[in-house]
Structures are given as structure tokens and as C-alpha cells.
Amino acid sequence: MPRMDSFVEYTLELLEPLGAVQARSMFGGWGLYFGGRMFGLIIQGQLYLKTDDVTRADFEAEGCRPFIYHSRGREQPMSYWTPPADAEDDGRRLLPWARRAVDASNRAAMKKAAKKTPAAKKAPAPAKKAPVEKETPAAKKAPVAKKPPAAAKKVPAAKKASAAKKAAAKKKPARVRRS
């Protein structure tokens, strides 16, 4: 496992009031985990926190920047944003932003779990039933007769002919020609 650099260690110290935060090496950076869910990312000496539709506006309003991943000549913005500048070095100011990131991570996990739940577990829509008519004693139906047992399997005509030829060949003795 790669050795943690001083910035990762410093960030973990800032996040101690949040609880048991773990850093795991990944893709040239570090993932920050709380409760088994990734809520932060440290890459190239910069901290990024998880956002979602609920928290993104708060990060934008504070002038935070998104993590942008460059792949095959295209830029792909991710759901991780820098914390506000005044909170980067102050654990007391960073804590509410980290809590927002943990909440966003939990919401993302719940959303993902909801997508994986099979539709069969959802409550079925009530089915429309046809009105039931009460039977009068005179209107009772006669019992239905059972079908007779099925005859032996039907064999296609081509198979019958082939089987007949084989049976005939076994019964006839082979003819011997004398010259």
C-alpha cells in the first residue's frame, strides 16, 4: 500500500471531529471514507468533497470548483467539489462541509440501492376485478368430463417407414448369389 503523504495525514487530522475517517489509495490519489462510503477525494494535493443535487448549489455559492476528469481528450466533471477556501485549513469550518459530503454519499448509496431493488418487491397495483355474479342452484354448471388418457406418442410417417425397413431387413435372410 502506498505511503500516505503529509497532506492526506493533515486532512485526516482536520476531519477527526467527524469520526472514523479512512483514507484508501486509488488511481493516483486517495479516497476518503466514512462508514464504508466514499465522501471525499484527495488528488494532486487538493481535497474534493462529494456533492449531489441537494448540496451542489451550496458549493457553487461559495465559489468551489468541481473535480474534472480528463479522458480521451474530453473533460468529465465529477460529483466531487473543493471545499470553500476559508475551510480548507480550518477543521471547525471544514466539518459542516464534510458532513454535507457524507450525507450526499449516503443519499447516493440509497438511490443506488433503490435502483437494484427488483420491481417484484414493490407493491403491485390493485387489479381490476370483473363483477362476480352469484350462482343460483338452477344455474350450476355440469361437471366437466375428464379427457381420456393420451394414446401412445404419434411418430412421423418418415420415421415409421424407416423403422419398417429396418425391421424387414432383420427378418429376411441375406441372399447369396451363386455363379
What whole-number distance in Å separates Cα of residue 91 and Cα of residue 19? 12
Q: How far is CA 159 from CA 64, 144, 165, 169, 172, in A?
A: 80, 37, 10, 16, 20
CATH code of 104's domain: 3.30.1460.30
Number of domains the chain contains: 1
At 171 the pLDDT is 59
- Is residue 106 predicted with pLDDT exceeding 90? yes
- Tell me the pLDDT band of 56, cut-offs 50, 70 and 90: very high
The three-point CA angle 105-107-108 to 5° equals: 65
Q: Nine-digit cell at 16?
A: 477527526
- Is residue 176 predicted with pLDDT exceeding 70? no
Cα dihedral sign for 28, 32, 37, 39?
negative
What whole-number distance in Å separates Cα of residue 100 and Cα of residue 50? 8
Collapsed DSSP state (helix, strand, coil) of residue 80: strand
Range of the domain at 88: 6-110
145 assigned to some structural domain: no
Rounded to an integer, the average pLDDT of 129-151 is 59
42 assigned to some structural domain: yes
153 assigned to some structural domain: no
Entry pTM: 0.62
What whole-number distance in Å separates Cα of residue 98 and Cα of residue 131? 59
